[in-house]
Amino acid sequence: MSRSRLDVAVVGSGPAGSAAALVLARAGARVALVDKASFPRDKACGDIVGPRGLRVLSELGLDRPAGRDVGDVLVMGPTGRRVRLPSVEGLTYPGHGTAITRVEFDAFLRDAAVMAGAMPVRGRAEEPLWDGGRIDGYRLAGGQRIHADFVIGADGATSHVARSAGLVDEKKALWGFAVRSYVSTSVELPLIVFWEPAPWRAVPGYGWVFPGPGGGANVGFGLATLSDRTAGTRAARAFPHFLEHLSRHGFLAEAPDRSVGRPLGGWLKMGLIGTKPAAGRVLLIGDAAGLVNPLQGEGIAQALGSGRLAAEAIVGAPADAAGRYRTSLAAAHLPFHRVAATLQVVMAGRPRAVASLSRLLAVVGQLDAFAGGWSIFWNELLEGAPANLHRTVARLMTWAGQISTAPTSSAAWFADTLANGSRLRS
């Protein structure tokens, strides 16, 4: 790498960007960690770092963040029927997640990256700098120019890096929108709610009530919008009605506590589909790469893992970092995301089908074998799951999903973009 320039410019200081910058700085790279916001800052999220996220933190040598441990998850179907999904310790991950606000968690990770040697830069990446046919860095809103051998896009679902590098097809991408607030009501178990605003007209998504790290709860609602970016306002408009639904079922004693924080919304880009995760010397991680679970919206674990994978690809194979990174992503996520993204694409525009499926899940979820297998599959925990009946059921779900989605256009996209990632080399 040239000594007259930065090795890597990481655009975005969320969990993905900070994890990448941490690994790069520890390896001796000169890395800028660029963000438009000053820290600490808030982010719309469920505020839970899942088991795989905790595993990555441990592998990075970081202390587990101080928060509230959460395990089993309660799922409520459209008719009020409830299912308890077990959270079991795996071979490579703990049997719980940790509730911690994004204000605290993101600042914790960013501080770790800066202490390792990453250079924090405040500014919005506005205009790509070009060297021949490749991006050579970015000009920031204030005029500062940052030149780097590699650019890592960690700037969220609406990533400017992804767009300017031509790596995202917004019409193909699987979009979602979520809104959350805080309430003073205390809950013991994380709650997932499949909701029908009208009978047999289910929303293509779910709501949640998650335990807060310091008491109270994080309450949110998200829906898949496919490629329709104008549909996000539906989630914001539906949020008060969803809160009324929770109150009717006894999960909320009061409306959102405005003294804690106003409702906050944000876009999700899910399932990898529609986004090429890397080409040339530009690598996308976290939400920028669409690495959000299409079925339950988790993104922190994927952000941490992809940040590390991208950094390791740059350090270990700079001549083919993009190819190495795509291969690593395919190994980590392709089997699940192909099934989950295709399922979301099929179901998102079919409210009656969503209603039927969610009601069916609430019934068969009463069976322990199915509940345990559903928990492993749904949370993308098959790799590292202990050898038992629950893992067998999760494997069967994955196998059935792969067979049924094989002839779809979504499966073809994954094959071209990840499974045959060498086609993207530039």
How many CB atoms sit inside 10 A of residue 213's CB? 21
Nearest-angstrom CA–CA distance, 415 and 244: 43
pLDDT of residue 316: 95
Nearest-angstrom CA–CA distance, 193 and 122: 39
Q: Work out the percent of the chain whose per-residue pLDDT is above 90.
A: 68
pLDDT tens sequence across 324-340:
999 999 999 988 998 99
pLDDT of residue 422: 37
Task: Choose the weakest-confidence range: 90-99, 251-260, 279-288.
Answer: 251-260
Beta 125-131 vs 134-140: how paired, if at all? antiparallel
The mean pLDDT of 232-238, rounded to a whole number, is 85
Q: How many residues are given for the chain? A: 426
Beta 73-76 vs 97-99: how paired, if at all? unpaired
The mean pLDDT of 121-150, rounded to a whole number, is 93
> Is the distance from CB of 369 to CB of 377 less than 8 angstroms?
no
Nearest-angstrom CA–CA distance, 364 and 86: 15
The residues with which 128 forms a beta bridge, in sequence order, are 138
pLDDT of residue 334: 87
Tell me the whole-structure pTM to 2 decimals.
0.94
> Is the distance from CB of 246 to CB of 185 less than 8 angstroms?
no
> Is the distance from CB of 211 to CB of 67 less than 8 angstroms?
no
Phi, psi of 79 (to 5 degrees): -90, 0
User: What's the Cα-to-Cα distance from 106 to each of 19, 41, 69, 190, 265, rounded to whole Å?
Assistant: 10, 8, 18, 21, 17
pLDDT of residue 2: 39
Most confident stretch, 36-40, 114-118, 127-131, 329-333:
114-118
Beta 191-193 vs 68-70: how paired, if at all? unpaired
pLDDT tens sequence across 46-76:
999 999 999 999 999 998 888 899 999 999 9
pLDDT of residue 390: 97
Q: How confident is the model at residue 424 (pLDDT cuts 50, 70, 90)?
A: very low
Q: Which of the listed CATH numbers 3.40.50.1260, 2.30.30.30, 3.50.50.60, 3.40.50.740 matches domain 6-70+98-171+270-341+415-424?
A: 3.50.50.60
pLDDT of residue 256: 52
Nearest-angstrom CA–CA distance, 39 and 28: 24
Nearest-angstrom CA–CA distance, 69 and 312: 30
Peptide bond before residue 40 is cis, with ω within 30 degrees of 0: yes
pLDDT of residue 140: 95
Nearest-angstrom CA–CA distance, 93 and 122: 35
Nearest-angstrom CA–CA distance, 253 and 249: 10
Nearest-angstrom CA–CA distance, 28 and 314: 12
Domain boundaries defined on the chain: 6-70+98-171+270-341+415-424
Res 402 pLDDT > 70: yes
Nearest-angstrom CA–CA distance, 341 and 293: 8
